[in-house]
Structure 1
Amino acid sequence: MNELNLVDGINLEKTLIGALDITFKEATPDKVVCEMPVGPKTHQPMGLLHGGASVALAETAASFAAALNLNPKTHYPVGLEINANHIRGKKDGVVTATATPLHRGRTSMVWDIQITDEEGKLICISRCTIAVVAINKNEQ
């Protein structure tokens, strides 16, 4: 399911999503679940999962979830704000992000993202606000 084609012509492997080896396990307008391996690519210097990698995973889940609630011919999602609380460290394995909606409005959406480990233990909790941007027909 990693070939989610939410934006025509974009190769996800050539984006941060590909660089961090993020894969999608579930994608509906009500929930997006994606995974990311924890290893050298996602470590901070002390060998733990980098907080920035967790935030990138969280925003990826929220952005794709928002996109699934939009008409891609008229609107697209853009991250506006994100926060994260890093609950516990992780050295290896896989983390899973689950994004669910808190608010789905006409011009913005707010998503709750929980990142857990293989045992379901909470690694990070995040909230991401997504701006809903109208495609300007004059720019095409």
Structure 2
Amino acid sequence: MGITFLEASPDRLVATMPVAGNTQLYRMLHGGASVVLAESLGSIGAVLHAGDGHIAVGVDINATHHRAVRGGTVTGVATALHLGDTAATYEVVISDDGGRRLCTSRVTCAIHGRRRRP
């Protein structure tokens, strides 16, 4: 996928991803690639929020694709909407090189205590 993280904290994460190599039949950024970027940002944010001794697992994601892009790099910015004891939710905005919004996603992760192996 070629995702590069530029900033990562429980409250805000930023990452980039090239369009090249992540396209569909019509040579546009694949919607699934946008969802992978969004879930990567939200999941890592939830893990950072959860802290040591806990895990975070995705339980819900949605994405609205607003426009297509055929080249360059896209940037995803995840902003925490809710950081609770048992769940973390992020809004992820994915934009093109010109700052135009391509996709809006919401990612929710459940937070659990780390499971011990038998």
> TM (normalized to structure 1)?
0.81
* 2:16 is aligned with 1:76: no
Aligned residues: 118
* Matched residue, 1:4: none
1:1-140 alignment runs, 5 A limit: 20-39=1-20, 41-72=21-52, 74-137=53-116, 139=117
Letter in 1 for 2:75: T
Deviation at 1:23, TM superposition (A): 0.4
Q: Indicate the SS of the match to 1:26.
A: strand
Letter in 2 for 1:27: A
Query: Matches of 1:135 and 1:111 in 2, distance apart?
Result: 22
Deviation at 1:31, TM superposition (A): 0.4
Deviation at 1:108, TM superposition (A): 0.9
Q: Indicate the SS of the match to 1:42.
A: coil
Deviation at 1:29, TM superposition (A): 1.8
Q: Indicate the SS of the match to 1:29.
A: coil
Deviation at 1:68, TM superposition (A): 1.3
Q: Indicate the SS of the match to 1:47.
A: coil
Query: Matches of 2:88 and 2:10 in 1, distance apart?
Result: 12
Greater helix proportion: 1
Query: Matches of 1:36 and 1:92 in 2, distance apart?
Result: 11
Query: Matches of 2:47 and 2:83 in 1, distance apart?
Result: 11
| Unaligned segments of structure 2, at least 5 residues | none
| Unaligned segments of structure 1, at least 5 residues | 1-19
Deviation at 1:113, TM superposition (A): 0.3
